[in-house]
Structure 1
Amino acid sequence: MYPDNGQNWGQAYPGHRQAPAQHQWSGGTGWNPPVPLPGLMPHDRPARHSWEIPLLVAAIVLTVVAYVAAIAALFLGVVSTWVLIVLIAPILIAVGRGQLYGSQQVNGIKMTPTQFPDGYRMVAEAAARFGMTEPPDAYVVLGNGRINAFASGHGFRRFVVVYSDLFEIGGEAREPDALAFIIGHEVGHIAAGHASYWRQLGQFAANYIPVVGSALFRSMEYTADNHGYCVRPQGARGAMGVLGAGKYLVSNVGFDELADRATTERGFFPWFVNLLSGHPVLTWRAAALRNRTRHGHLFVKPGQIYRDPQLLRYAADPAGPVTR
């Protein structure tokens, strides 16, 4: 239905608003860099999503209110399950973080220069790119078919865990760039402070507040995606493909078709699913990785289908200029 020959990129398809003039493809041979937002391209310091800090402040305020209410209830002699959970939350979070780290220490396969050396190198490169003084520990754990990775911490230690099925996409015949993007995403969570004990304690109430909490977590995922993109922009397409179709079918996923559907899939329930999700829905996430002129959408779907070959060329060679 929509042309995909490269000549129409940078323009909105029929029925959609035109992209800004400075992003149009001129068809010339010179290099005319687009104007992406600061922090959204590989040469930049990765940007925090514009909504993350306001939502974090709201979550901290709600957490403080919850603590004050729980303490007041205790003094009034009102003891309930939620009061106890709030009061012992600092202990629960500390114990949970320690147990999670301990589990990786005794059950995970640690990435080292001799065990999973490619993954170890990707973690070290991402940490260096984000200005971290030392790379976090990194582990491979049995996935049993599940596609997942996460980052956390305990005390002053930070660590990344990659499920074995996801790690397999780094195989020579598959998508090593996608693995580098995903590892950059997880290390990005650490670099952005998302794995901090005090951060997790401060936003504790957000776990129980559907709209505010889920929006905060979506903004954090967009922030981590910005980090992954700065490490390996060419891996964004494969990463979205493997998250959508799995490690074996990733090569069959059309990234642009996936991203286009962020605009074309209409209705209440697609919007509602995103509203309650702790991760951006995959179509919106793909659209955000393709359009680096703005932060990812949190509440309202993208209003236009946006493709810009200059941004793609700029991502591949941010040093420019390039002639063809």
Structure 2
Amino acid sequence: MENVVDHMRHSKERLYGRLMMIFGAAIWGLFAVGLVLAAVTGAYSVVAVLAVYIVYGLLIWLAIIIGKFLTRAYIYGHYVLIGPQQFPYLHQMVVEGAAAVKLPEAPKAFVYNSGGLINAFALRLIGGRYIWLTSALIDADTDAQVRFVIGHELGHHAAGHLDWRQNLLKLPGWIVPFLGAAYSRSRELTCDRVGAYLAQDLDAARSGLQVLACGSARLNSAMNPQAFEEQEAMVPPIAGFIVHIFSFYPRLSRRVEEVTRYFQPANPATS
């Protein structure tokens, strides 16, 4: 099955994703070679140290699995599951979006009381794919903007960002300074493209990002996206660069600029 998201994958994600793969495979390989050499040469103290790391790794993996089981149990009792009989218009957005990006099945989507936090999340738990939408996000966004946000989260699933095999291979790459953060930022740019593709509405895509900055439905409806986009040029170069390289998310002004460039027919995405 063709992965339609591959056509929307940002060039920076392609680059940083490959680097994460290369560094990850190399570090895993060195670890395996070191273990074998230590065993062959009789350096059993080294083998013992490596064995301890393996045991700790397995314990961490077990803790993650248990955490996923517990999280799944919690959300069914405390969050609201979106479905044909519960917020059917949201359910339709999820189902149609999942079909458009060729996911084998629509993720289970939930709304929960966020206490004012405007956000959304994509995650893998025991039992499949999930999307969480905060109540404040639903209140602040229009239906078109919600469709963009849902599309963004579906993009994480369709682009393989939550695939445990790929993430395990790339895991050692996170120790390379700044590489993991750059890879994380590039994935967000890819998913903004997916959200814009599913929304088919540039204004909704831009305002769906802007509301994360202003946090107000009333203010967001009156925001000038061009003026907000132009703030990107006002970011101080040196301080902005330092903040940028440590951040796991791109600047919102940059994200609006990027999604505008991608969505405009006169400027087809080639980067």
**Distance in 2 separating the partners of 1:91 and 1:64:** 23
How far off its partner does 1:93 sit?
4.1
Distance change (3 Å), C-alpha of 1:268 and 1:129: same
Match of 1:225 in 2: 192
- Which amino acid counterpart does residue 185 of structure 1 have in structure 2? H
Runs of at least 5 residues in structure 1 that lack an aligned partner in the other structure: 1-38, 294-307, 315-324
Match for 1:269 among 239, 244, 257?
239
**Distance in 2 separating the partners of 1:51 and 1:91:** 33
How far off its partner does 1:223 sit?
1.1
Q: Give the TM-score normalised by the residue count of structure 2.
A: 0.80
Indicate whether 1:238 and 2:207 are aligned: yes
**Distance in 1 separating the partners of 2:5 and 2:104:** 19
**Distance in 1 separating the partners of 2:51 and 2:227:** 50
Match of 1:195 in 2: 162
How far off its partner does 1:279 sit?
1.1
Indicate whether 1:279 and 2:249 are aligned: yes
How far off its partner does 1:46 sit?
5.0
More displaced, 109-118 or 97-106? 97-106
The size of the alignment, in residue pairs, is 253
Instruction: Within 5 Å, give how 1:122-271 maps onto structure 2.
Output: 122-155=93-126, 157-170=128-141, 175-234=142-201, 235-248=204-217, 249-271=219-241
- Post-superposition CA distance 1:15-35 (Å, at most 9, x none): xxxxxxxxxxxxxxxxxxxxx
**Distance in 2 separating the partners of 1:87 and 1:206:** 19
How far off its partner does 1:55 sit?
1.7
**Distance in 1 separating the partners of 2:5 and 2:122:** 23
Distance change (3 Å), C-alpha of 1:45 and 1:193: closer
- Post-superposition CA distance 1:90-133 (Å, at most 9, x none): 43444444443333233211001221222111111111111223
How far off its partner does 1:287 sit?
0.5
Match of 2:40 in 1: none
Distance change (3 Å), C-alpha of 1:44 and 1:188: closer
- Post-superposition CA distance 1:196-244 (Å, at most 9, x none): 2222322323444441001111111111111101011421121122111
User: Partner of 1:159: helix, strand, or coil?
Assistant: strand
Distance change (3 Å), C-alpha of 1:95 and 1:44: closer
2:5–2:101: 8 Å Cα contact kept in structure 1?
no
- Which amino acid counterpart does residue 218 of structure 1 have in structure 2? R
How far off its partner does 1:188 sit?
1.1
2:185–2:248: 8 Å Cα contact kept in structure 1?
yes
More displaced, 152-161 or 270-279? 152-161
User: Partner of 2:253: helix, strand, or coil?
Assistant: helix
Q: CA RMSD in A?
A: 3.1
Runs of at least 5 residues in structure 2 that lack an aligned partner in the other structure: 36-44
Distance change (3 Å), C-alpha of 1:239 and 1:82: farther
**Distance in 2 separating the partners of 1:70 and 1:45:** 32
**Distance in 2 separating the partners of 1:98 and 1:196:** 17
Percent identity over the alignment is: 25
Distance change (3 Å), C-alpha of 1:48 and 1:137: same
More displaced, 73-82 or 105-114? 73-82
**Distance in 2 separating the partners of 1:116 and 1:46:** 31
Indicate whether 1:48 and 2:9 are aligned: yes
1:122–1:183: 8 Å Cα contact kept in structure 2?
yes
Q: Give the TM-score normalised by the residue count of structure 1.
A: 0.68
**Distance in 2 separating the partners of 1:54 and 1:91:** 32
Distance change (3 Å), C-alpha of 1:87 and 1:64: farther
1:169–1:247: 8 Å Cα contact kept in structure 2?
yes
**Distance in 2 separating the partners of 1:128 and 1:267:** 41
How far off its partner does 1:60 sit?
3.1
User: Partner of 2:132: helix, strand, or coil?
Assistant: strand
